[in-house]
């Protein structure tokens, strides 16, 4: 009987120890493809760096499939009113609310200082763009008029706003040129000028000094 109890205690301890050692993986996909009623796009994780902000931004969040569906419902319901002025549209440029199915989307989530959840939605109509390219980064563009636009949707206040439609970017022949804008370049380390021209230049480390080793420059 004592031996049986000892075996049960050992098994129980092993189970508890195993449970304590297990760590749930924190790694997540940075980009997720989403599909729904009249839309197809990609959601970018809250850790994905972007070159833009929203008003009163306080943080980022990763939109769920349900939040994307909710944003799309609000956008598709209200886009005709938000786009009533047809800015940068007409003629050879499409009226955006008449061709919603043509656009593939990119979604980025923000929070503001009131805790509102805001989705920045990017709409692109370019048959030359591959799905792989659209999933590789948030694409900002110049030119293309009504083929490229973005807006914001506040899921908390249910407001759709901030519509921006690209202008045309014509060359000397009147052809519209579409440019995919490069990422904003981050400044590199500063290089100090040595007093002695015979000495090599030194790289000055910037940022927080964590310990004595950070004060040593080669």
Mean pLDDT for 169-192 is: 76
Residue 187 confidence (pLDDT): 52
Pairing of strands 104-112, 57-61: antiparallel
Euclidean distance between CA atoms 97 and 90, whole angstroms: 12
Query: Six-digit token pair at 193?
Result: 């000028």
For residue 51, the tally of other CB atoms under 10 A from its CB is 10
- The pTM of this model reads 0.73
| pLDDT above 70: residue 20 | no
Strand 202-204 relative to strand 39-44: parallel, antiparallel, unpaired?
unpaired
The span from the CA of 105 to the CA of 134, in Å, is 8
Q: Over the range 118-151, which residues count as b (16 or more CB within 10 Å of their CB) and which as e? A: bbbbbbbbbeeeeeeebeebbebbebbbbbbbbb
Is the separation of the CB atoms in 99 and 150 below 8 Å?
no
H/E run at residue 91: none
Bridge partners (DSSP) listed for residue 164:
150
Of residues 102 and 5, the one with the higher pLDDT is 102
Q: ∠ CA(20), CA(23), CA(27), 5° rounding? A: 170
Whole-angstrom Cα distance, residue 105 to residue 197? 54
Categorize the per-residue pLDDT at 136 as very low, low, confident or very high, splitting at 50, 70 and 90: very high
Beta carbons within 8 Å of 190's beta carbon, 6+ residues apart? 203, 204, 206
Domain ranges of the chain: 31-180
pLDDT at 139 (0 to 100): 97
Q: Over the stretch 107-129, which tens digit does the pLDDT of each residue have?
A: 999 999 999 999 999 999 999 99
pLDDT at residue 171, as a whole number: 82
Say if residue 47's pLDDT is above 70. yes
pLDDT at residue 16, rounded to an integer: 40
What DSSP string runs through 137-166? SPPPEES-GGGEEEEEEETTTTEEEEEEEP
pLDDT number for residue 3 = 54
What was the pLDDT predicted at 150? 98
Question: What are residue 150's DSSP bridge partners?
Answer: 122, 164
Phi-psi region for residue 101, left (φ > 0), alpha (ψ -120 to 50) or beta? alpha
Residue 200 confidence (pLDDT): 56
Q: 111 - beta bridge partners?
A: 59, 117
**In this structure, what token pair is assigned to residue 127?**
């048959």
pLDDT tier for residue 21 given thresholds of 50, 70 and 90: very low
pLDDT at 78: 98
* pLDDT averaged over every residue in the chain: 82
């Amino acid at each position: 009987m004592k031996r049986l109890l000892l075996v049960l205690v050992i098994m129980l301890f092993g189970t508890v120890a195993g449970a304590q050692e297990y760590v749930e993986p924190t790694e997540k996909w940075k980009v997720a493809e989403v599909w729904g009623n009249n839309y197809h796009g990609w959601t970018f994780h809250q850790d994905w760096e972007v070159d833009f902000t929203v008003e009163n931004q306080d943080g980022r969040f990763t939109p769920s499939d349900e939040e994307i569906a909710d944003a799309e419902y609000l956008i598709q319901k209200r886009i005709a009113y938000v786009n009533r002025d047809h800015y940068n549209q007409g003629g050879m440029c499409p009226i955006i609310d008449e061709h919603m199915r043509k656009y593939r989307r990119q979604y980025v989530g923000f929070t503001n200082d009131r805790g509102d959840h805001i989705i920045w939605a990017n709409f692109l109509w370019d048959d030359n763009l591959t799905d792989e390219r659209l999933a590789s980064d948030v694409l900002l563009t110049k030119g293309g008029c009504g083929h490229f636009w973005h807006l914001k949707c506040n899921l908390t206040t249910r407001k759709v706003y901030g519509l921006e439609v690209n202008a045309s970017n014509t060359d000397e022949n009147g052809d519209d040129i579409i440019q995919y804008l490069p990422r904003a370049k981050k400044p590199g380390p500063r290089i100090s000028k040595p007093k002695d021209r015979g000495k090599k230049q030194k790289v000055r480390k910037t940022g927080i000094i964590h310990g004595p080793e950070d004060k040593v420059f080669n």
